[in-house]
Chain A
């Protein structure tokens, strides 16, 4: 089964600075999708960004970008110009192509933004 590992349980960043959250995954598949979801204190799961494994270009969404290293099975999230509203739990997720399209989630990284 696929596994997703987030090795940083907690991170902090100064407001307006840049932070990178790490994610690695284990799979034998060649085609899959990767996601970052944000869970603020309201506990709503909000899609931040997605990446198709067949695309070499790293996805970007405004201040959020990823560094996708397929060979290394690494998928990190970079948040630029951090804002107070970015404080949340961030989950990395892998979406399988072959097992009913279910998601596999990491255990999350809690991000604190310091004013």
Chain B
């Protein structure tokens, strides 16, 4: 158990809908990262937040957005969903100070768009 929690574990929805994925980082970790893993694919970096501020952006679609709240949990919002958005979405967190370069992953949220 990495200490990173993600909810829900599974999500089934229809095209055109909007969903919100939630992540709670490890206690004390200020950085949160979101990744997308499609079937049989590697992980694609979406976005990073550090202490509430956006720090880096990767291949995140305009239909997707994220934020990090004062209690450091983060939410990834996916809208106007398409079949191709079906994937496993990971959240990861990293500590400040020592070992800040290491990311610890949550169990992921499996999204299925029908």
Q: Which residues of A contact B (CB under 8 A)?
A: 33, 35, 37, 42-47, 50, 52, 91, 95, 99-108
Docked-complex contact B108 and A103, CB < 8 angstroms: no
Q: Known interface pairs A101-B31, A102-B48. Does A50 touch B43 (Cβ–Cβ under 8 Å)?
A: no
**In this assembly, does B45 line the interface, its C-beta being within 8 Å of a C-beta of chain A?**
yes
Set of chain B residues within 8 Å of A107, measured between Cβ atoms: 41-42
Q: Given the interface contacts A44-B105, A44-B108, does A102 sit within 8 Å of B42 by beta carbon?
A: no
* Bound-complex Cα distance A102 to B34 (A): 10
Quote the shortest CB–CB distance from B68 to chain A (angstroms): 14
Chain B residues near A43 (CB-CB < 8 A): 37, 88, 107-108
Say yes or no: A101 contacts B42, CB within 8 Å: no
Classify chain B: how many residues form its interface, as a range.
20 to 34
Using a CB–CB distance below 8 Å, which chain B residues touch chain A? Answer: 2, 31, 33, 37, 41-43, 45, 48, 55-58, 88, 90, 92, 94, 100-105, 107-108
CA–CA, A101 to B48, complex, Å?
A: 9
A44 to B107: give the CA distance in the assembly, Å. Answer: 5
Given known pairs A44-B108, A105-B43, the reply for A95 and B101 (CB within 8 Å) is yes
A37 to B101, CA, bound (A): 14
Complex-state Cα separation, A50 to B56, whole angstroms: 22
CB-based contact B48/A50 at 8 Å = no
| Chain A hits for B88, CB < 8 A | 43
Known: A35-B102, A44-B108, A45-B90. A106 touches B56 (CB 8 A): no
Which residues in A have their C-beta under 8 angstroms from that of B42?
A: 91, 105-108
C-alpha spacing A23/B104, complex, angstroms: 21
A33 to B94, CA, bound (A): 14
Contact in complex: A102, B45 (CB < 8 Å): yes
**How many Å lie between the Cα of A101 and that of B43 in the bound state?**
15
Which residues of A have CB within 8 Å of B31? 101
Residue of A35, A42, A101 with most chain B CB atoms under a 10 A cut-off: A101
How many whole Å from B39's CB to the nearest CB in chain A?
11
CB nearest to A9 among chain B residues: B40
A4 to B90, CA, bound (A): 19
